[in-house]
Amino acid sequence: MYVKKIRSFIVLATSDSFRDAAEKLNITQPTLTKQIQLLEDTFGFKLFLRDNQGCYLTDEGKIIYKYALNLTNELDRLLCVVKKIKNGTTGVLNIGYTFSCINILPEIINNYTEHHPMIKIQLHELSSVEQEKKLLSGELDIAFMEKPTNKQIKYTEIGSDHLVFIFNQKENFKINDFNDVNQILDKNTLCLPDYDSHFDLSQKIAKYLSSNALNYPNVYYTNNIYNIISMANLHSNVTILPNSLVDNIKSTSECKKLMGKGAKWKIGVSWNEEKAGTDVLNFINEMKVK
């Protein structure tokens, strides 16, 4: 109830006279005088002194003026937030992603949050299967994943990923077909991510090996991807990983793109149109513009 009076007080404090302030506020001078008197009565002390030259803040008025400015600034911020809430430009977005999207996601998120600082982004690393379930249940708003099977979920392709064979450059392995790969695996230790820590990734690599009849008698499992890459740089060790996980890692290892069934897959952005709010649709539309 004091907001209008406080704003009038601020305008008067920066004006030469009541008449000047009343004109700025587009109200009559008696109305402004009454507003200031009501504030002074409420506070219990004078805010202004008047003489023939104009009006001036009292010592008490100067103190109140500083707090009044802060109050109105905070109120303006509050009203701005209220407007953004009504327009769907503030809130929380739960976004899922798989290992294949780890390189493209930061730029997408940064571009979005730069224009929507009021939106809080919560990221969840999940398999594509898990993301699909959570999109249907509403636990996720957006998912960066492989193409979903449920037609209720919308999908737009944004890229692809593929498996690479990693080994020490000095080995100089020649990989022209699966016979070459099998011979290498027969004589070297295949270092792989373990199932407990990287189930989705482990499953994809295992499926590739099985689908292409590749045998690996010597295998070593670890829960650390960086350790796997480092170990592959040692003599008699090799590994198979998605290109997305090794593309930005500086290493002296050699990477060869693999062929065959399951060696390459597409990735995209998915959302549940039935549950998608304004913020989700804005995110998707802005991605498409990019």
Amino acid identity, position 282: N
- At 84 the pLDDT is 67
Q: Give buried/exposed letters for 101-130 (b at 16+ CB in 10 A, else e).
A: bbebbeebbeebeeebeebebeeeebbbbb
Please state the φ and ψ torsions of residue 277, each to the nearest 5 degrees: -90, -175
pTM for the model stands at 0.67
Q: Say how far apart CA 27 and CA 20 lie, in whole Å.
A: 11
Determine the pLDDT at residue 50. 86
Fold of 162-263: D-Maltodextrin-Binding Protein; domain 2 (3.40.190)
Structure tokens at 287: 């991605």
DSSP 148: P
What pLDDT is attached to residue 161?
96
Domain ranges in the chain?
3-86, 91-159+266-289, 162-263
Equal CATH topology for 3-86 and 91-159+266-289? no
Q: Sign of torsion, CA 66 72 75 81?
A: negative
Cα 80 from Cα 287, distance rounded (Å): 25
pLDDT attached to residue 156 = 94
Distance of alpha carbon 267 from alpha carbon 122, whole angstroms: 20
Question: Taking all residues of the chain, what is their mean pLDDT, rounded to a whole number?
Answer: 90
Tell me if the domain spanning 3-86 has CATH number 1.10.10.10: yes
Q: Which residues contact 123 (CB under 8 A, 6 or more apart)?
A: 95, 96, 97, 105, 109
Long-range contacts formed by 75-82: CB under 8 A, 24+ apart: 75/3, 81/118
Distance CA 225, CA 94 (A): 25
User: For residues 145 and 126, what is the distance between their CA atoms, to the nearest angstrom?
Assistant: 9
Per-residue pLDDT reduced to its tens digit, 96-140: 999 999 889 999 999 998 888 888 899 999 999 999 999 999 999
State the pLDDT at residue 148.
95
As its CATH architecture, domain 91-159+266-289 has 3-Layer(aba) Sandwich (3.40)
pLDDT > 70 fraction of the chain, expressed in percent and rounded: 95
Q: Are 119 and 93 in contact (CB under 8 A)?
A: yes
